[in-house]
Amino acid sequence: MAQEGRYEPVAEIGVGAYGTVYKARDRASGRFVALKNVRVTGTENGLPLSAVREVALLKRLEHFDHPNIVR
C-alpha cells in the first residue's frame, strides 16, 4: 500500500489470477476507492513478467476519463 493506514478496507470485491481487489475508504477524504493487491511470487530472476504486465496495464488505465476507472 502506498501509505500505510491511509485506506480502510471495507470489503473484498473479487479475486483473480493476479490478485485481490478491495473496496476501501480513503481516511483523508472519505472517498471510496478500489485497491488491487497484486500477488507476486519472487523468483531468483526478479519479478514475474505477468506481474510486470499487470502493473503496466493498471498504470495505463489512469489516463482514461471514464466513471468506471478509478485513478
**Per-residue pLDDT reduced to its tens digit, 2-49:** 456 889 999 999 998 878 999 999 999 999 988 888 877 766 777 788
Pairwise CA distance, residues 1 & 51, whole Å: 16
Which residue from 70, 69, 20 is spatially nearest to 11, judged by alpha carbons? Answer: 20
Any domain includes 37: yes
What's the structural domain count of the chain? 1
CATH (domain of 28): 3.30.200.20
The tens digit of pLDDT for each residue in 42-61 reads 667 777 888 788 888 888 88
Would you say 23 is a known binding-site residue? no
Q: Does residue 2 sit within a domain?
A: no
Cell 473496496 identifies what position? Answer: 23
Q: What is the CA radius of gyration of the chain?
A: 14
Residue 1 placed within a domain: no
The residue segments making up the domain with residue 34 are 7-61
Domain for residue 25, yes or no? yes
DSSP one-letter code for 61:
H
